[in-house]
Structure 1
């Protein structure tokens, strides 16, 4: 079979962090002869070279190229390109890993849409990844119609013919931002870029020791010299105007302004801060026209203006003010309706734990440019924020805890101005309700088994901040029961000790309250009212286990809605019960990867005639269990005496 994809992995002393990478590449759903993996060992001095050689000896689709250390990832990736045989090449870092179907899905998507570059949805495990880019699938994306420029890491699939035709390669040597130079040119020269957003393809991992190359402190002069090479690429392939300004804005915002804001700036040593500021000031003055900063949010515009003016002390003072600002997201009513978990939330910004307030009536005439005085700048941001409050947005994201993959949920929200004191200032509060459809919440599919967290994200006044939803006020701490929806058991719960709202899907052993059920039998029919939510009929599995034996009988059952919960119905195999007693347990999600049976608090036995009778409780109550335990302890003590 022709090689569809060549995976290129530059390797340098990854230690055990490469294990997940290797495993994920060997698990790919593409046929094993449809892809190859090329590890380019850049002079590693740990045990990795021997480990990779052993993998290659066992798997014929794996090759290892050893070379002397080149100093950075550019040359290893270029060596991999030269050795590749695939129709596409996929770049993966040695401490990251892929989703099991990533290569197959990205290849098929790229071929279907004639893409030169394919970007698969990313999840950041301790690292930031683009969010807006992956809101929807984008079969035909460009820098003009999509936020492609938000994704400048090299972890993409690129058509090899495109690389050969353009001669596009990574800059080599010990340098920063070689991926920005490569990816920016690829975006600007590709006939089409396709963005696959309905499957997490790439997991971007931060090492526990934070030794990833991107987290190491850099030399500002060298860093911003390399950054200017990426700006040169944009200048080479675009005309002056709105598109170029928007692309430049990405570097101004992410690599300059954000490095000068809040605690990120204040946490660095003073000498580094001053050196960083000087280099940013130089680039802003030399490379950016006024149209670049004009598209920033208000707080970002303040920092950009202060940087352009060379106002270091003011930048530091503004950072000190911003460092105290955080998002507060308080859960309100949480309830089930029509198979959907509805989550109310109110969100606002705080400063040092207290609500952040804004002028109630900002002046109609405001300066178009931010002032260079810090106090005046703060007032300018506040007035602008109040005036444009109707543009503020509240989003709710469902995040899988294990993978960190996020999924946007539908949310309706309102803007509320809450007067403070004499009414001259207001709190700006967003109140909304998110609708988590149990059948479609994760890219059109139900959430998989595991733990899921709910995050709120607010865009307001130049801040985009996210945080977990919680803790709840006393009036809203009651949660609805677990729901059996789309074949899965979804249990809302508060985390301990922080009290954030999370979901347990198919894994809960506690919290379902099935020990409160009171089953009854009428002939062969078992019925039990259960404290569960079901939007409609749901198939479940009843298991009968013979007391004193491992013998089991599995019986189909059904849950049907019945206020205030659900009714379990099952026809029992009376003839198979004999004269024995049986413990019933219930699997609420028969199609889940890991079946879980929850005991019901009764025992059953075939009765007279053709019926089944409830014999006695299958599990003693809590007080009875405690009394028995105390009795056993006392008996042991008497014997010892």
Structure 2
């Protein structure tokens, strides 16, 4: 029997109906059934999941199931899945996620064309965040030095199976956190060729409403940061002290520490638990991070790091209250359709509450103004970051989650005087080929968003325009949306008193709806 090109390994525990989206997406794959397999590892389910998988395997020979005693965590099922896999490549999927219809075919073709040990496919997030900058473009020769690979540490990737076996790369077993980080970091450090496939959404990553997956429980701060130190040990064993190590360490300082001590995330956490997280964070900062790690962060995160290092918990909360109000105010100044090309002129700026985010521009330097005293002014410097501030325009499918950057030119960054300093106002011109959206498969409704990346924030705002495609190949309908309070009241009214939508008009050019 010819070995399959790809083995999809899926740990499953009491999955119930959440499993069905993944199953359906596997049965829709454009890669023929004889060229891939799925290995479901039932981790001692007690709700009928095992029986459902047995029925599935009986009906579809390329879908197999392995039953094991409950381990309580996804690592052992994944390792068992690798041991049973026969594919040239292995992809690790979760039981409540799903694939794009052409995902396995495209991932394998890209891996084969580039002789890759690893391929990271574009992800769409549903109720959870996924990397953005990593998927701005295809990257056939990505490394930790030339690409933001460190931003993608979930296990949902394609790995050459012989590569995993050669280096004995497996998930650490037992009830522990960051087990996927430990596995993926080793793989990234040892991979001879890593590729990023960004022109097709391969994987849909979902946060279940019932938080029912294996690791969706509040972490124990002391145990969590012990596991974080173990991941840092892996980096330190392969990377010498210096700028690259600092940049890699920065990922955990940014994502696992400062992200938990800022904005709504801190304010919505139980106060006693959040205090424990802050205290454990301060220990890790003092013990493990060289000065260059925090120095490479944006000013707000440098400030949070300093406050955590000094155990200044009340000031962390005060800063979080201010950041919780951060939003983008955006507008479309002009729009124009020429043939199949939509052109938008967009203006946007950051605010906190109803006040602009302000920079102190005195003495020829720019410093972020924050509502906390006693911080070293050097921490608040943003002068060197202004060149990286940018406005992007993004189109996102309303129901599917696929997201694409539009080509943007004519970017301008205006410093506009305001009380206490200056505010940054962004201007940009974006273009969308209406016929080529999502590689010519645009069926459905698409939102347009302004995305500001500025001084450490990446924040979106809905633009008052939506695209509707009745079918692939159809001309879109452009709908102008209302914004503000009237729009919110209108949406509530439509939910309470639904009314049939008018039929979409047809014509040679995209129709406008107001």
TM-score by length of 1: 0.73
Aligned with residue 431 of structure 2, among 431, 435, 445: 435
2:9–2:81 contact (8 Å) kept in structure 1: yes
| Residue 106 (str. 1) matches residue 115 (str. 2) | no
Give the equivalent residue in structure 2 for 1:223.
Answer: 224
| Residue 362 (str. 1) matches residue 348 (str. 2) | no
Aligned with residue 490 of structure 1, among 459, 476, 480: 476
Give the equivalent residue in structure 1 for 2:412.
Answer: 414
Structure 1 unaligned spans of 5+: 472-478, 501-507, 515-529, 535-564, 567-641
What is the CA–CA distance in structure 1 between the aligned matches of 2:440 and 2:257, rounded to whole Å?
Answer: 40
Give the equivalent residue in structure 2 for 1:395.
Answer: 392
Give the equivalent residue in structure 2 for 1:455.
Answer: 449
Give the equivalent residue in structure 1 for 2:503.
Answer: 510
1:438–1:486 contact (8 Å) kept in structure 2: no
SS in structure 2 of the partner of residue 493 of structure 1? strand
1:265–1:273 contact (8 Å) kept in structure 2: yes
CA deviation map 1:306-360 (0-9, x unaligned): 112222222122112212221112222222124311122211111213333333x
What is the CA–CA distance in structure 2 between the aligned matches of 1:208 and 1:496, rounded to whole Å?
Answer: 29
What is the CA–CA distance in structure 2 between the aligned matches of 1:267 and 1:154, rounded to whole Å?
Answer: 28
Cα 1:54/1:486, change in 2 over 3 Å:
closer
SS in structure 2 of the partner of residue 439 of structure 1? coil
SS in structure 2 of the partner of residue 63 of structure 1? strand
Give the equivalent residue in structure 2 for 1:9.
Answer: 10
Larger radius of gyration: 1
What is the CA–CA distance in structure 2 between the aligned matches of 1:492 and 1:3, rounded to whole Å?
Answer: 44
In the TM superposition, 1:47-446 aligns within 5 A as 47-213=48-214, 215-359=216-360, 361-364=361-364, 374-375=372-373, 377=375, 384-385=381-382, 388-412=385-409, 413-420=411-418, 425-442=421-438, 445-446=439-440
Structure 2 unaligned spans of 5+: 489-500
SS in structure 2 of the partner of residue 208 of structure 1? coil
2:116–2:193 contact (8 Å) kept in structure 1: yes
Give the equivalent residue in structure 1 for 2:509.
Answer: 533
What is the CA–CA distance in structure 2 between the aligned matches of 1:352 and 1:274, rounded to whole Å?
Answer: 26
What is the CA–CA distance in structure 2 between the aligned matches of 1:397 and 1:146, rounded to whole Å?
Answer: 21
What is the CA–CA distance in structure 2 between the aligned matches of 1:387 and 1:31, rounded to whole Å?
Answer: 51
Q: Give, in angstroms, the shift of residue 390 of structure 1.
A: 4.4
2:435–2:475 contact (8 Å) kept in structure 1: no
Cα 1:379/1:454, change in 2 over 3 Å:
farther
> Per residue, is there more helix in 1 or in 2?
2
2:97–2:205 contact (8 Å) kept in structure 1: yes
1:362–1:386 contact (8 Å) kept in structure 2: no
What is the CA–CA distance in structure 2 between the aligned matches of 1:291 and 1:385, rounded to whole Å?
Answer: 16
Q: Give, in angstroms, the shift of residue 439 of structure 1.
A: 3.2
Q: Give, in angstroms, the shift of residue 29 of structure 1.
A: 1.5
Cα 1:243/1:461, change in 2 over 3 Å:
same
What is the CA–CA distance in structure 2 between the aligned matches of 1:375 and 1:269, rounded to whole Å?
Answer: 25
SS in structure 1 of the partner of residue 476 of structure 2? strand
2:358–2:369 contact (8 Å) kept in structure 1: no
CA deviation map 1:73-115 (0-9, x unaligned): 0000000111111111110000001111111111111111111
| Residue 464 (str. 1) matches residue 425 (str. 2) | no
Cα 1:233/1:429, change in 2 over 3 Å:
same
Cα 1:147/1:464, change in 2 over 3 Å:
same
What is the CA–CA distance in structure 2 between the aligned matches of 1:267 and 1:133, rounded to whole Å?
Answer: 29
SS in structure 2 of the partner of residue 276 of structure 1? helix
TM-score by length of 2: 0.90
